[in-house]
Amino acid sequence: MKRWILLIALVASAQMALAREIYPLNDGWQFFFRTENDSEHARIVSLPHSWNNNPLAGYRFDEATGHYLQELYIPNEWSGKRLFLKFYGAQSVANLFINGYHVGEHRGGGTAFCFEITDRIRVGTTNAVQVIVSNNFRSDVLPVSTDINLYGGLHRGVELIVTDQTAISPLYWGSDGVLIHTTEANERHVKGEVEVHLLTTAATEATLRIELLNDRKKVVLTRTQRIRGEQKEPILLPFGFERPKLWSPEEPNLYTLRTTIESESGRDLVEIHTGFRQVEIDPQTGWIAINGTPQQLKGVVVHHDNATSGLPTQEDYDTDLRLIEELGANAIRSAVMPHGDYFYQVCDQRGLLVWIDSPLQRAPFMADQAYFSTPLFEQNALDQLREIITQHINHPSVILWGIFSRLSPRGQGLHELLRRMNEEAHRLDPNRLTVACSDQDGPINFLTDLIVWHQELGWQRGLTEDLSVWRDQLRTSWGHLHSAISYGGEGFLGMTRLGVQRTKGQEWASERRQALFHEDYCRELQADSLFWGTWIENMFEYGSARRPYSINGQGLVTLNRREKKDAYYLYRALWNKQQPTLHLADRRYRMRSDTLQHFTVYTSEPNPLLLVQDDTIRLHPYAPCQYRSDTISIHGTAQVRLSAGGLGDGAIIQIGSLLRPVGRLGLPQTTNQ
């Protein structure tokens, strides 16, 4: 069935268009697997789409190749126009064909890409569009070692872009073609340059103009430049203005940059929302400073799915960011690859600080090889980094470019590749910092501006009490490095409380064991000025077909976003200074076997009161926002009530035989016990 993408009204308007036309192409795609051989039984799908977007279907997680077909009618009026297809994400390798001709290939699932299709299009008729997408493992497409699900398909939207012959290029690493470089930003003035990538011909005579508008739509600066002939290099327009409203976490002020190129044949226009701020390392504290103000980051690691879909919508992003703000975090790490652009637009508006990872990382599986010393692997690592930077450089919330994560310093050429990536990040964007996450010793830790230590003492090895020894050694031996820490442990709801010990050897991780781990880390590290940031792994559980029951359970919140674990309330009490917190830990553990019980309380309020039945139980401060009770003897059913500062919490517990989850050994339950 033919899909007539463009309405007659839109076709008519194209004749008098003064700027580019953009048409979403998200509906009416035919989809079938390569193994089906033809499209006879193709399904009609809408984008975003994936053939395995159920995070819990790990045993059915398909690495496959899928075909997407579309029919695109191009009116005669577009003869002489330039046409582009922009894809905002295809996992992981995509090949585009127009009318049977191969247009191009893109390798990497987290970034946008764009192809010009002008020379392959027939005007006045219908054109066949085919996209072949594969999420099969390849040693030359990153990530090659990860436990996240790579949800195969066109997992973000597609647009048709129509411009005149002279246009702002959408082809430069999948960006908008306009990149803002701030060289100086303070309360007195802002200085920098706008980098504009153009598509022109030898006969081009045009005027390039930039206008900067403040939040009241008032123009605060204008710059113009005459363009003659073909421009093979980007145009650099210096700019500056006085008395800016700087962007900061406290005041996320935004501006609009309007870039136009105008010639006798028409006009092209790109608008970008951005902000101006200075990012540097404070020489006194070693912390990140925004506009000269040191910020100790309280960050969470965020992955790319939820329980209902491997394809987060704008509504999903809104929910996640609301929960992150409720926690009191001020920073987010986009793990493995970027999120959709809407995610960063909201971070810009809300003043959240962002670190975006490159997909060069190692998962904790013995069979994995994270680095292949081949030219194709290294080129893909550099290309994906370039796409990440150029596509997100205009977001003021993004302050860190992640170069690698948890790599083992083995492999011929790895150190040289990392050095090249770090230099390339600084070449493309001299005004942001680079960062890496490491769990290794050696020179690999000296490449980036900042280092984040992945630590798991007390989880897989040792005791949490060893943290103080490690921290003192770090301060003594590597105190000159700008260090932060990242940590986390799994905690499944509905798991029995058997074996909540903190050392290796427990088959499954309960919510209580996770909470104990975080309690001790908070006690040891939260107030330490050695670290410029704390990163919790992870904010949310995420789908992982490589793990038991298809879930990585490290999240503070469950995969379906419905249940907040005990550790969530610990960080909310510590970090959220706007909303008070009072939480009785372990309240899901209602059926208990031991008559001797004690209780843990997380609260930002002073002097919490704990009542068991009608008896007041003494609470002792254990660490900031943490209290532990005396051990008491309970028989039968007991009501536990907690109060502080007008807040209340509690549970009813039953002392008797321990009821365990029904099902296979240790199967994580998503309901309360």
Does the pLDDT of residue 200 top 70, yes or no?
yes
Rounded Cα–Cα distance for residues 255 and 258 (Å): 10
- Identify each DSSP E strand in 330-419 by its residue range: 331-334, 353-356, 398-405
Domain locations in the chain?
8-168, 178-277, 280-580
The answer to whether residue 666 scores a pLDDT higher than 80 is: no
61 vs 87 pLDDT, higher one? 87
- Length of the chain, please? 673
Cα–Cα distance, 304 to 333 (Å, whole number): 11
> Which of 517, 433, 421, 428 has the alpha carbon at shortest distance from 467?
517
Instruction: Tally the C-alpha atoms within 13 A of residue 97's C-alpha that lie toward its C-beta.
Output: 12
Dist. CA 366–CA 615, nearest whole Å: 52
Residue 583: its pLDDT value, please?
Answer: 98
* pLDDT for position 58: 61
Rounded to an integer, what distance in angstroms lies between the CA atom of residue 633 and that of residue 154? 58
CATH 2.60.120.260 corresponds to the domain 8-168: yes
Terminal Cα-to-Cα distance of the chain (whole angstroms): 52
pLDDT at 667: 32
Q: Which residues of 436-460 are buried (b: 16+ CB within 10 A; e: fewer)?
A: bbbbeeeebbebbbbbbbbbbbbbe
Q: Residue 226: what residue type?
A: R
Q: Mean pLDDT score of the chain, rounded to an integer?
A: 91
DSSP helix/strand/coil, 311: coil
The topology under which CATH files domain 178-277 is Immunoglobulin-like (2.60.40)
Q: Which of 296, 257, 294 is nearest to 278 (CA)?
A: 294
User: 21 — phi, psi (to 5°)?
Assistant: -105, 140
> Per DSSP, what are the bridge partners of residue 260?
209, 269
3-state secondary structure of 632: strand
Query: Rounded to whole angstroms, what are the CA distances from 513 to 15, 490, 502, 504, 585?
Result: 66, 8, 7, 12, 11
Write down the pLDDT at residue 496: 57
3-state helix, strand, coil in the chain (%, to 5): 20, 35, 45
Q: What is the pLDDT of residues 230-256, one digit of tens each?
A: 999 999 999 999 999 999 999 999 999
pLDDT tens readout for residues 541-574: 999 998 888 899 999 999 999 999 999 999 999 9
Going by pLDDT thresholds of 50, 70 and 90, the confidence category of residue 508 is low
Strand partners of residue 331: 299, 353
Average pLDDT over residues 358-369: 91
Burial 114-133 (b: 16+ CB within 10 A, else e): bbbbeebbeeeeebebbbbb
Percent of the chain at pLDDT > 90 equals 82
DSSP for 425-453? HHHH-TTSEEEEEE---SGGGGSSSEEEE
Strands (E), 25-92: 29-33, 43-45, 65-74, 82-87
The token pair that represents 359 in the structure block = 């997909």
DSSP state of 250: S
Q: Give 175's DSSP letter.
A: S
pLDDT at 657: 52
How high is the pLDDT of residue 460?
Answer: 82
Q: What is the three-state SS of 332-355?
A: EEECCCCCCHHHHHHHHHHCCEEE
* Residue percentage of the chain with pLDDT more than 70: 92
Chain position carrying tokens 């066109």: 154
pLDDT single digits (tens) 95-143: 999 999 999 999 999 999 999 999 999 999 999 999 999 999 999 999 9
Predicted local confidence at residue 73, as pLDDT: 97
- What average pLDDT does the segment 1-18 reach? 41
Q: Is the pLDDT of residue 506 over 80?
A: no
How large is the average pLDDT for residues 202-222?
Answer: 95
How many other C-beta atoms can be found within 10 angstroms of the C-beta atom of residue 27? 12
Integer Cα distance of 155 and 316 in angstroms: 14
**What CA–CA distance (Å, rounded) separates 660 from 665?**
10
Cα 145 to chain center, whole Å? 18
pLDDT confidence of 668, banded at 50, 70, 90? very low
The pLDDT score that the predictor gives to residue 311 is: 86
Task: Judge: domain 280-580, CATH 3.30.365.10.
Answer: no
Of 463, 454, 499, nearest to 364 by C-alpha is: 454
Report angle CA 71, 76, 78 to the nearest 5 degrees: 85
Long-range contacts of 411-414 (CB under 8 A, 24+ apart): 411/371, 411/373, 412/373, 413/373, 413/378, 414/371, 414/373
**Which residues, including other chains, have CB under 8 Å from residue 397's CB and lie 6 or more apart?**
252, 344, 347, 348, 351, 352, 353, 354
77 conformational bin, left if phi > 0, alpha if psi -120 to 50, beta if neither = alpha
Helix, strand counts (H, E) of the chain: 8, 43
Q: pLDDT tier at 503 (50, 70, 90 boundaries)?
A: very low
Q: Distance (Å, rounded) from C-alpha 135 to C-alpha 65?
A: 7
Q: Determine the pLDDT at residue 669.
A: 34
The answer, yes or no, to whether residue 15 has pLDDT greater than 70, is: no
Closest CA to 100 of 69, 75, 76, 73: 69
Distance CA 150, CA 311 (A): 11
- Taking the C-alpha atoms of residue 299 and residue 291, their distance in angstroms, rounded to an integer, is 19
pLDDT for the residue numbered 11: 43
Strands 266-274 and 255-263: antiparallel
The single-letter code of the amino acid at 347 is C
With H, G, I as helix, E, B as strand and everything else as coil, classify residue 198. Answer: strand
Q: Are 224 and 209 in contact (CB under 8 A)?
A: yes
